[in-house]
Structure 1
Amino acid sequence: MEGTGRKFEKLQEIVARHEGKVSHLIAILQEVQHEYRYLPEEVLTYIATALNIPPAVVYGVATFYAQFSLVPKGKYVIRVCDGTACHVRGSEPIHFALRKELGLAEGQQTTDDLQFTVETVSCLGACGLAPVVTINDQEVHGQMTPEDVLRVLRAIKAGESQEERREAHA
């Protein structure tokens, strides 16, 4: 499998950048997840071998922290805040509208084409902007409505830039 060789080559680069230090395990996992959008099992095993630690240690860290995912995520990770302020101001209908528009079945977070992942989070720390939605932890959209979030989603699908989406929301 051609992609496998490239995968392990990239992993070697990441581990080498961190000088194979076990104390850098979280940073290594963060870089690997950024590269692959999740942490495949064979990658965790490779990292354990490269750092000369038991696979259970790597797996334990990868499953302990909520930032890590063992399943593939979409190119666009959309997080809908459901903290108290966001919930009271209508985050549930926003979440429902996204899931319906993307055709996500009950329990499914990621679209089959791996373009979108929709997650609910407890707090995004922007309560004054409630309800809040983020895209890839880089774009923050406040005071959203179901209609607003669908506009943002359709703009992403249409290939509009972040700036164009920001202007459309203003």
Structure 2
Amino acid sequence: MAENIVEKKEQEEVKEELDLSAIDEICAEYKGRKGATIPVLQKVQEHYGYLSKEMVDRIAENLNMSPHTIYGVITFYAQFYTTPRGKYVIRVCRGTACHVKGSGRISEVVTEEFGIKNGETSSDLKFTLEEVSCIGACGMAPVIMINDKTYGNLTPEKAREIFREYAKKDD
């Protein structure tokens, strides 16, 4: 269901609507301080949900740095995202214990419910699917996390129920 995937054009429209003045305020807190790049990126991402080209350019201007230097930091650390992500990030553990107990089928349920695959975000920006190497809860395999909440001992049916509950949420 390719129509459910956030298209580049839609992402660009989202960028055009953003007020980037918060970046100036965030950067002002760190002006002249060494090691400010990562905290600034974290706060900007926390505010906007991701780091667009326009945001990076504004940060670079504020911190008197090259955008290339900032992109070096962004691409080095897995915590930073350059495209919008869903309100609910579904992490499906694909570690050995979870794999053996059927986590692949859990990912398939996400695809069936929301039309997204690993690394994709739904067009309504409600869900993002990330398959991860290990969540660290092997005794509860198969395991998923939705944002910071962990769900274990799942079956495809249980997972589908959980996903549908999140889909109903308006907040």
Which category describes the TM-score, using the shorter chain as reference length?
0.7 to 0.9
Instruction: Check the 8 A contact 1:39/1:70 in 2, yes or no.
Output: yes
- Equivalent residue for 1:110? 121
Instruction: Check the 8 A contact 2:27/2:62 in 1, yes or no.
Output: yes
- Equivalent residue for 1:135? 146
Q: How does 1:66-105 map to 2 (within 5 A)?
A: 66-104=78-116
Unaligned 5+ runs, structure 2: 1-14
* 1:102-152 deviation per Cα after TM superposition (whole angstroms, max 9, x unaligned): 022x6661111111101101111222221111111x111111221111111
**Is 2:130 the counterpart of 1:119?**
yes
- Equivalent residue for 1:65? 77
Compute the RMSD of aligned alpha carbons: 2.3
Instruction: Check the 8 A contact 2:118/2:130 in 1, yes or no.
Output: no
Instruction: Check the 8 A contact 2:90/2:146 in 1, yes or no.
Output: yes
1:149 to 143, 150, 159: 159
Q: Out of 3-12 and 30-39, give the one that drifted further.
A: 3-12
Unaligned 5+ runs, structure 1: 162-170
* 1:26-71 deviation per Cα after TM superposition (whole angstroms, max 9, x unaligned): 1211121122221101101111111111111101111111111111
Higher relative contact order, structure no. (Cα contacts within 8 Å, ≥ 6 residues apart): 2
Query: Percent identity, aligned pairs only?
Result: 45
The Cα of 1:87 is off from its aligned counterpart by 0.9
Q: TM-score, normalized by length of structure 2?
A: 0.83
- Equivalent residue for 2:67? 55
Secondary structure in 2 matching 1:23? coil
Q: Out of 31-40 and 57-66, give the one that drifted further.
A: 31-40
Instruction: Check the 8 A contact 2:122/2:128 in 1, yes or no.
Output: yes
- Equivalent residue for 2:5? none
Instruction: Check the 8 A contact 2:92/2:129 in 1, yes or no.
Output: yes
